[in-house]
Amino acid sequence: MTRAVELALRGPAAGPNPRVGCVLLRDGVVIGEGWHRGAGTAHAEVDALSGRQPVPGGRPANSVDARGATAVVTLEPCAHTGRTGPCTQALIDAGVARVVIAVPDPNPVAGGGAALLRAAGIEVVVGVGAEQVEAMLEPWLVAVRRGQPFVTLKLATTLDGRVAAADGSSRWITSPESRAHAHALRAEVDAILVGTGTALADRPALTARTPDGSPAAHQPLRVVLGDRAAPGDWLRITGHDPAAALAVLAEREVRHVLVEGGPTVSAAFLRAGLVDRVLTYVAPVLLGAGRSAVEDLGIGTLADGLRLATEDVRRLGPDVLVSARVRREDDVRGRHDSEETH
């Protein structure tokens, strides 16, 4: 399963479909490997059965003889026909004897593959490596289970929590290393959202760029929330309701949205309880005055403060990146089939 996760990570992080990897085994020997390369391409199971990926010590083949083999898959094989055929049927037709699945597919349209495999007389084991796969697929899994995009709030502040100086200047608070990391993050999300205030004042490009400054292969949907004018090629969502904005994005199959502020929009999403994770780039700079990273949250006393759970702290050049979890009331992380063996 660890190898299947490694293969899955070769696929695109953004998009309506999840990253999936598959390894085919016979007598403990790998006979096929595959992964999903994005919407419209072969799914991981079909890719592994095709034999086009060389396995250790082998060469690409026209197809893999999988009769009696075990298929190890990060996500439950799909049971529906979309742009491609159902992976469940491909495994049945290939004659596999056993399928090991990390996490069931929460998509009501695509799920149900495990039951069909069992009905065909194939042994199915669910839950192997579930924690590892849940972590890899968290934004996608949470978005599909919840019916609403996973939300990451990104902040870039001085050591005293300012996002701009008293004169309004804000470029650049953080280091080139932090900005490079933020661009890599943009290349993995489906959409970036800002308010009209930020769009008009800063005129941000909201593009994802590689370290050499060229455009990344994937460019997220650029979204502006508010009633004032906005760039014509951006998706404009009128009003100031974060939940309504997420509903619009869900209809577009956006799984992961990056909220880049400014302080008004950041506070709106936090007050609405719609943030899953906060990423804060902190620069060793002191201003003493200027705009705060987040506007009023309606909190009057320290005891009522929104306390987050730190997940990771890392150094980026002179800066520090803090990743913290926000516990949402509708948090659906980690819900997978408790069936470890069957």
Confirm whether 124 is domain-assigned: yes
Kindly state whether residues 33 and 180 are assigned to the same domain: no
Same domain, yes or no, for 178 and 124? no
In this structure, what CATH number is given to the domain that contains residue 189?
3.40.430.10
Longest Cα–Cα distance in the chain: 70
One-character DSSP codes across 62-129:
S----TT-EEEEEEPPP-S-SSS--HHHHHHHHT-SEEEEEE----TTT--HHHHHHHTT-EEEE-TT
pLDDT at 38: 85
Task: Identify any residues that bridge with 221 across adjacent strands, giving them in sequence order.
Answer: 191
> In the prediction, which pLDDT does 262 show?
86
The tokens of 250 are what? 């869900």
- One-letter amino acid at 318 equals P
Q: Are residues 228 and 192 part of one domain?
A: yes
- Do 150 and 262 have their domain in common? yes
108 & 153 share domain: no
- Nearest in space to 110 (alpha carbons), one of 34, 24, 190, 39: 39
Q: Residues 45, 188, 251, 329: which is the catalytic one?
A: 45
CATH code where residue 75 lies: 3.40.140.10
Q: Residues 13, 46: one domain?
A: yes
d(CA 334, CA 148): 16
CB burial of residue 324 (10 Å; 0-12, 13-18, 19+): middle
Domain count, the chain: 2
Helices (H), 175-323: 176-186, 196-202, 242-251, 263-271
In a domain, 338, yes or no: no
Q: How many residues does the chain have?
A: 342
Closest CA to 264 of 151, 158, 163: 163
Question: Is position 157 within any domain?
Answer: yes
Same domain, 132 and 37: yes
- Beta sheet of 277-283, edge-to-edge order: 235-237, 221-225, 191-195, 256-259, 150-158, 277-283, 319-325, 309-316
Is there a single domain that holds both residue 73 and residue 94? yes
Question: Does residue 199 sit within a domain?
Answer: yes
pTM of the model: 0.88
Residue 215 per-residue DSSP state: B
Cβ-based burial of 149 (10 A; exposed 0-12, middle 13-18, buried ≥19): buried
- DSSP character at residue 144: H
List the domain range (segments joined by +) for residue 32. Answer: 2-136
Residue 201, pLDDT score: 72
* Full pLDDT tens readout for the chain, 342 residues: 999 999 999 999 998 899 999 999 999 999 999 999 988 888 999 999 987 766 655 555 667 899 999 999 999 999 876 666 689 999 999 999 999 999 999 988 777 899 999 999 999 999 999 999 999 999 999 999 999 999 999 999 999 999 988 988 888 899 999 999 999 999 999 999 998 888 777 788 889 999 888 999 999 999 999 888 766 788 999 999 999 999 999 999 999 999 997 899 999 999 999 999 999 999 999 999 999 999 999 999 999 999 999 999 999 999 999 999 998 777 665 544 434 443
45 flagged as catalytic: yes
Is residue 79 situated within a structural domain?
yes
Q: Has residue 339 been placed in a domain?
A: no
Q: What is the pLDDT of residue 51?
A: 79
